[in-house]
Structure 1
Amino acid sequence: MEMDASNILHRKQSVYQFLDDAFDIRNETYKGQQYSHIYFVRLHLMRTLIYSITPNWKPNTPVCTVLGLEEGKECIIVGTLYKHMKLKPCILDEYSKERSAIPLVKPHNFVHLDDYLILEDESGRVKLRGDTLMPSIYVTGIVIAVLGKETGAGDFWVDEVLEAGLPDQIERPLNSGEDKYVVFVSGLSIGCTTANPLQFQLLVDHITGHLGDEKEQSIAAEIVHVVIAGNSIEIPSGLLNGQNLASKDQSKLFEPIKELDILLTQIAAGVPIDIMPGPNDPANFSLPQQPLHRCLFPGSSTYNTFRSCTNPHSFQLDDVRFLGTSGQNIDDLDKYSEATDQLEFMERTLKWRHLSPTAPNTLGCYPFTDRDPFFIESCPHVYFVGNQDKYGTRLIKGSEGQLVRLVSIPKFCETGVAVMLNMRNLETHTLCFGTQISS
């Protein structure tokens, strides 16, 4: 029986541009570099940028250094914030926990009402006060401008705050072209005791067009790219105790990776796929995490559609620019500041023009000496973050007309939810793969 050629579905294509060069660590060395270098670079970058926009903000107000402040004289100062936190974990507290009979409580969030902010530049530092400056919103490492006056007590009373705002964005035709979809999934956690292999296979079958009726398959044919945003496997912690593994335990260590490679091979055979490392994956711990080694994927890495990428990850499909992380930057902000939801944390990082402002203070990162790769030079059209508790999305607009789609990707192992984004209009919807059978 011959197949009707008119019924054959052809997958749509898109032009891919790889933009991870800024996150590559070449000639990695740890020979006495100090983390002060990355703060100096960040301050120089951000201060130059903020100086260029202060004339439009307050055209007749002088800009001073911390050392050049005069009591009662209104001025603008630009510097790096340091947040003094009463509950911030300290190594001495860890020592006390072991020696003390009373265990110390470890809260999920370390924000306290007594927290306060200090602004620092090369000349000195000054404590900030004022009703317009909310310490709970900010974290250590952000560069901002503040308008105000030095008080008699030596503090700086803040009247207004200026953040860098969204960077420039490349133009993208609005609501034009054809429907093309990108699938985002994170937190597969293959190897977890609660993982459901059937959910994984349903996801793969949907992406590759082996699931559903003709309508479902026609939608699957419009999927042009897949992004896996970290925490793809989960190795039992008991196996990673530094001891030599018995032969029976070695299979437990490698089995999740083999299973992941089988799933990726099925996807890569039909759809381009990017995989990013996460905090639980076999990659370096500090940001930016380098690509998972291709030797882990003997099957999928043979396809030219397979790409092992950094975390953070940046790329462009046709005329849509994407930027995202596996979630560590947002999770750390959630510990040291407060917001209504994860999307608000994401929006702040864009307005601060910095992906990971808490690195290296409370989030591990490589000790760069001549650059800060987390500085956001170009505004993305899509900003995604993986391994979050729930799905969320929001469209934000910048002062220069920039439009950014924020996407919070839930952990697939716990929710069975992936996210589809339409590149034509930046609209998103979820793919839910529930496998529970009702009695």
Structure 2
Amino acid sequence: MTKQKRCTASYKSNSDRFEALPPTVTHPYMHQYVSIYGARYAMLQQRCLDNVQLKNKKSISSSSMNSSSIETPIIPRIIELKEGVSSIAVGTIIKTTPARPAMDTAYHSSYEGISYLGAPYDDINGDGDKDEDEKKETKEALSHYCSAGDTIVLEDESGRVELDLTSEMDGGYNLVTGVVVAIEGTVQADGLMVVSAVYFPTTPPQASDEVGAEADADVDMDVDDEGEGEGEDDVNIMFLSGLDCGGTDATLSLKRELLVDFLTGHFSPGQGSNIARVIIAGGGCTKPTRPAGMVPYGDWNASANSSKSNDKEKEKSEDDVTLPIRELDLFLGELCAAGIPVDYIPGLHDPTNANWPQKPLHACLLPNATCFVNMLTRCTNPYDAIIGGKEFIGSDGMNIADLKRYVSKQNDSISTALDEDIDEDDVDENGNIVVPSAPLNKSSGGNALRSFTSVEALELALKFNHIAPTGPDSLPTFPFKDNDPFVFETTPHVFFAGNCNEYESKIVEQKNSDESKKTLLLCVPSFALTGQAVMINLKSLKCTIVEFGDLPKSPLGAGGEKHMEE
């Protein structure tokens, strides 16, 4: 019988910056959140100016970067902008969205009502009497908060100026509060700055080929004398998310067991042995349910007797609360017992801190899995590690889900209307094609704006040079003072987000001067929704979907594969 040995790849965690709390004498919340915006501005200001220099190479008379080297002067402080003079200024975007719900509405939504998927709040109150079409329309209306009433200003420590982005950046709908950019434009008499160009920060360096070659030399593909290895070109990393342990779907437990059988090679000899590591991007625990008799926090009008219950009810409630983490522990223990290294990234419903960066799950919560030394890596959220010479940066997907709520883009339906057959009614008396104008927001009866897809939001975050661009405005974070740990220090080879509705991927290439960097953007589908896992080849970054479904229904059966060429 041929014996296979699982391939391995070198591993180094780069998540130290996410481990440390803000340095304070007594408490991490002793200072204001303005500090993290100041640190972000300081870290990205020069990158924005570098991009100005890069985009204006033809206008530069010398290699030095100063106001005289570019036709348009660079103003060091916003307060020094002059009316009627085209200028360039660096600052932080502040976006006001009137459609955004009030904070008390967000915090007092139902205990079970927040998730990664769909509208900002999946459980819409009062829609029980609506039909499916009405519910779908309501959720589409809530899919983002952008509207024609949004205002955008550029701010630094000296002041702020309101921006007119009609001709740039899709009207400003793809900008969010907290993004650091360089703006070129002219201040009008009414104080409004008409923008002619927007410069994002240049991307930082990527790991060199030499570093990757040294790490690849650590890849171990040896097997026993009776078998043959797969070769160094066939080392893969598997991505999972949304395991939903403790959920009510009985078939999901079967799918998780099929996944374990696939990884351990029970389907066919050698299958799964080319997977060097499994990364679980959040969603391990299902959404919590409110224990019997529990009074929601802030519900001061609740009856004092509502929290009383008998001992049996309390014991059952405690079992229901701990069931998700116990199931997750057993699943991780199965993988570790099979000799599969696992990185677990905590998520929205896991027992860890709510504010980003989220800390690793405590070892006492995973007693079975942590028994296997060096098999389980309890990671932070966000995640940063170098595996086989390739840098992987990503999260459970909450940052991308939050970003999608505050950005939108023009609906393609208007532009594609020109490709369809043109009737006589579509042409005016001068022979010009007439396209009916549409309002900019859903509430006014139009459909001119659409939500970003998850992979588009990933690309936007990479362009912003920031893992969580909406924090701390809408994504809760710690008030860091001297640095912003979410700023990209290097350009990753793979930038991923977990718990997405479906699999998406895209390779983007970014050029800074003579340097070119390629990054794979990966949306890891929720295993609970799709039954899918994604494998990435470490050398080629080619993606392969492995799907686990009900045998009678799934065209692929259990453990079927779809190859997605990148």
When the two structures are superposed, what TM-score results if normalisation uses the length of structure 1? 0.91
Q: Give the alignment partner of residue 78 of structure 1, picking from 84, 90, 94.
A: 90
Q: How far 1:31 sits from its partner (Å)?
A: 4.3
- Does the 8 Å contact 2:236/2:274 carry over to 1? yes
- Does the 8 Å contact 2:50/2:202 carry over to 1? no
What are the equivalent positions in structure 2 for 1:309-328 lying under 5 Å apart?
A: 309-328=379-398
Query: Counterparts of 1:213 and 1:258 in 2: how far apart (Å)?
Result: 30
Q: Give the alignment partner of residue 264 of structure 2, picking from 180, 203, 208.
A: 208
Q: Give the alignment partner of residue 290 of structure 1, picking from 348, 352, 359.
A: 359
Q: Which deviations, in whole Å up to 9, do the C-alpha atoms of 1:220-266 show, x marking residues without a partner?
A: 11100001111101254222836687112222222222221111111
Unaligned stretches of 5+ residues in structure 2: 61-69, 110-124, 128-137, 217-230, 296-306, 409-450, 555-566
Query: Counterparts of 1:352 and 1:435 in 2: how far apart (Å)?
Result: 41
- Does the 8 Å contact 1:322/1:382 carry over to 2? yes
Query: Counterparts of 1:70 and 1:235 in 2: how far apart (Å)?
Result: 53
Query: Counterparts of 2:504 and 2:516 in 1: how far apart (Å)?
Result: 22
**2:517 counterpart of 1:405:** no
Q: Which deviations, in whole Å up to 9, do the C-alpha atoms of 1:369-397 show, x marking residues without a partner?
A: 11101000101101110011111111111
Q: How far 1:30 sits from its partner (Å)?
A: 3.9
Where 2:155 maps in the other structure, the secondary structure is strand
Where 2:52 maps in the other structure, the secondary structure is helix
**2:456 counterpart of 1:341:** no
Query: Counterparts of 1:328 and 1:375 in 2: how far apart (Å)?
Result: 16
What are the equivalent positions in structure 2 for 1:29-48 lying under 5 Å apart?
A: 29-48=27-46
Q: How far 1:92 sits from its partner (Å)?
A: 6.8
Query: Counterparts of 2:108 and 2:18 in 1: how far apart (Å)?
Result: 38
Q: 1:62 to 1:177 in 2, by over 3 A?
A: farther
Give the letter for the 1:350 counterpart: L
Query: Counterparts of 2:336 and 2:542 in 1: how far apart (Å)?
Result: 25
Query: Counterparts of 2:81 and 2:160 in 1: how far apart (Å)?
Result: 11
**2:177 counterpart of 1:140:** yes
Q: How far 1:57 sits from its partner (Å)?
A: 2.8
Q: 1:95 to 1:207 in 2, by over 3 A?
A: closer
Q: Which deviations, in whole Å up to 9, do the C-alpha atoms of 1:14-50 show, x marking residues without a partner?
A: 1110111011134782443210000000111111222
Q: How far 1:93 sits from its partner (Å)?
A: 6.5
Q: How far 1:79 sits from its partner (Å)?
A: 0.2
- Does the 8 Å contact 1:235/1:253 carry over to 2? no
Where 1:44 maps in the other structure, the secondary structure is helix
Where 2:50 maps in the other structure, the secondary structure is helix
Query: Counterparts of 1:96 and 1:170 in 2: how far apart (Å)?
Result: 45
Unaligned stretches of 5+ residues in structure 1: none
What are the equivalent positions in structure 2 for 1:117-128 lying under 5 Å apart?
A: 117-128=152-163
Q: Give the alignment partner of residue 21 of structure 1, picking from 5, 16, 22.
A: 16
Q: How far 1:206 sits from its partner (Å)?
A: 0.9
CA RMSD of aligned residues (A): 2.5
What are the equivalent positions in structure 2 for 1:130-279 lying under 5 Å apart?
A: 130=165, 131-133=167-169, 134-172=171-209, 177-194=232-249, 196-210=252-266, 212-214=267-269, 218-234=270-286, 236-239=288-291, 241=294, 246-269=314-337, 270-279=339-348
- Does the 8 Å contact 1:127/1:156 carry over to 2? yes
In percent, how many aligned pairs have the same letter?
32
Query: Counterparts of 1:285 and 1:80 in 2: how far apart (Å)?
Result: 25
Where 1:213 maps in the other structure, the secondary structure is coil
- Does the 8 Å contact 1:316/1:322 carry over to 2? yes
What are the equivalent positions in structure 2 for 1:376-387 lying under 5 Å apart?
A: 376-387=488-499
Q: Give the alignment partner of residue 107 of structure 1, picking from 137, 142, 145.
A: 142
Q: How far 1:438 sits from its partner (Å)?
A: 5.1
| Aligned counterpart, 2:400 | 330
Q: Which deviations, in whole Å up to 9, do the C-alpha atoms of 1:131-187 show, x marking residues without a partner?
A: 113221111100001111111111111101111133211124699942111110001
Task: Decide which moves more: 220-229 or 59-68.
Answer: 59-68
- Does the 8 Å contact 1:71/1:151 carry over to 2? yes
Q: Give the alignment partner of residue 364 of structure 1, picking from 456, 460, 476.
A: 476
Larger radius of gyration: 2
When the two structures are superposed, what TM-score results if normalisation uses the length of structure 2? 0.71
| Number of residue-to-residue matches in the alignment | 426
**2:361 counterpart of 1:305:** no
Give the letter for the 2:246 counterpart: G
Give the letter for the 2:160 counterpart: R
- Does the 8 Å contact 1:25/1:290 carry over to 2? no
Give the letter for the 1:391 counterpart: Y
Query: Counterparts of 2:126 and 2:4 in 1: how far apart (Å)?
Result: 62
Query: Counterparts of 2:126 and 2:386 in 1: how far apart (Å)?
Result: 49
Where 2:233 maps in the other structure, the secondary structure is coil
- Does the 8 Å contact 1:192/1:236 carry over to 2? no
- Does the 8 Å contact 2:47/2:202 carry over to 1? no
Where 1:239 maps in the other structure, the secondary structure is coil
Q: How far 1:194 sits from its partner (Å)?
A: 2.1
| Aligned counterpart, 1:63 | 74
Q: 1:353 to 1:74 in 2, by over 3 A?
A: same
Query: Counterparts of 1:372 and 1:95 in 2: how far apart (Å)?
Result: 26
| Aligned counterpart, 1:415 | 530
Query: Counterparts of 1:265 and 1:182 in 2: how far apart (Å)?
Result: 19
- Does the 8 Å contact 2:288/2:349 carry over to 1? no
